[in-house]
Chain A
């Protein structure tokens, strides 16, 4: 009986996730939102595969896009071969090609890079990333030079009359793979090997004493992570129908790190939050402001400095409070915290937008608008207002910040005493 309940408990979140994924296109049915959700799908797989290294095994990689990109290239080449030769392989199986490519290259590069841990590993990964990025300009046959490799997903074997032309069909393909990979990666964290990864992260010396080779554990984690990165790359290749040399470069390697870390690396759900948030921000913010990369960078630095558990960590911190019902106690303090937060947010956004307007769009004159409110970017009043907002925000933060922290700690203390009491 209890086993059944437990099993239901494990399955419920996944069933809910599957239901949400199936229903989403009916709620957000426009073409742009379908595209955005497809992007989120492979971003989630990529970020989770990255977190297998950083969060689970403690390996900070600066070259993870190598496996993502090579998986994408292999999938594109496979698609072209299948399309030309009319091989009877349906499209839904093709991300597997990307995964196997990612796995093979992870075995190759992982063998040398996982010999070391810590900063040395980070630097080897950076070196390998730069190496492959530089190779992509030399090996024009494979990487397609400047133009990249373009392909067509509709020329494969059709099953049940589905040709994967419309975006909705691609969305469901990506969503299915995303769920499958998420479940597989979650299952990996529950295996003894997954637990050993945590041990290697937390205390490599003791893991060695217990009799495990830390190098081997790192190597296996690296290979599995490379496989899922390759699947993500394959899904991206199917979505875009083109792969260019820039996907193996430092850019995607950096952005996957940002995604995973902003979301939170110490929880399984963290990178998922990060991937969804960053993809949404990337698409929606880039419409409104030219400085969106600056916002992302700023957010990352703030998370590193003040919330090292990430946004997911901030949310999950409240789990005991919810369980014990003491969450009501923190609400007044949080409402109070909205004051400095909104002051700083509005001030910061105005500062960035106004300077961005003055510097980048200088030719358009100094008249500008933020949220339909027009003002003159060069007027002293605007700048005084911005500085006043920021100053007041900082001052309020200094006063209210400790109170919020006190309220939270008090509520958590009460929650833990309540929960531990019989």
Chain B
């Protein structure tokens, strides 16, 4: 809209550009102008109007408007309206039309009720309240599926079977094929989604070799070009990227990420349609040099681990390699991290020491790939089911990509790794599972302890030769040494931040400052902040985390036509009819421009016909 003032500004500037001349008296001129038809003033006004109109029409046309045709209200006593208020509804004019449609339905019904997709537990009632609510309601930053809200609506409608109205953009990601019951009452769907859309979003930010990388996805069906900007501390870096339709591309920023410790910032896609998925915050925590105690029993078992530690380019670990026998002479608390390369070699006294160490806040990676000589040490933590040495080999069947260690991996990254023997341990959180169902990596609950059930040596697996081995190992160490490895949260998550003491702390959020009292945790006090609503950096003391919206919501791809009948929903009203105003507006802009040209050409002709003496 500010652009619409451009012609007015140009007009005023052209007035300033006019040659200004002092004149003895305007007495006679004013009389003459009053007598005569003032073409000049008329010309100025007409040209100004035409230019403003042309620009306004052009701007409106560029916003691809369409004329909503309101649905007739449902003439019923009761009506339950489900309104999708996810952030994808902020695309274009969807939200405006959604509110209009909701208001229309609510005003037509005698006893309307409203369920918001972001708050499925609450049912809003009362015409006046609903009217006020809809006046001020905005799309949330959340990306809820419609399932909870629909299930709640189905449950409500069972009692009195009021008609249901769902106002949504019917995204494919919003309605799963399973988990939705059959509607007990007629379900009218007002579909504001369109198959034609242009949107790009940032899927993920991560650090790779000290370089910040952003995965940008083009959800639309046409190629797009976007400028991606990294804002970090006081530096800004921009890159332009072309993205093919429905693909993801990775942008690697050249600004080096060399700082140890906490690094926060954001990556922004400029000039895109849906703002919320165009900004993604990051809080990368790179620990300072961490002393690591590596307890070995046989050189063959820790060889590959040492190779990875030596080759680690971040250089953040300071390994000290000792034999098992020296374990009892060392003060383990000097080392934040302990690596036991062969758990089978440990004796009961060693297990006591390790358990005390873990209880005091230490972290350990225990490699228990061989049958334990003294299984009592792990018995109260994990259960041993024996040793599995299959005739062939085992492969990785499942990985928990929600875990911070594994969230950069895909299952296919591990598909070529073969495991010839594993220790069958159960209990704890199973992070990786083999094709036999045996766990490969286990995280003990409430302890900073990771157990590998395989031996990282060629005799037990060829995984040590595979690409993911080194990053898996380093990420495991990172996870164990970093108190807040999880630095990325999604809106609505519960943020847990470790703090040094139980004294109240101040949490800095994008919405302001919140005072929180730490809760006693298993190992150290922590503060818990539930359901952050705004994307940004949340910070307590020197610890910070990034909160972002669910990136999947940026995919505006509509639901396939046949899906609703397939999941048992009979659609009564499929789509909100709309007339695209782009072409008429472009035509009007062109007409205004042509009319202006006609005036200017006519004036030029007139000027040539009546030459004036200089």
The answer to whether A and B come from one shared complex is no
Which B residues have a C-beta under 8 Å from some C-beta of A?
A: none
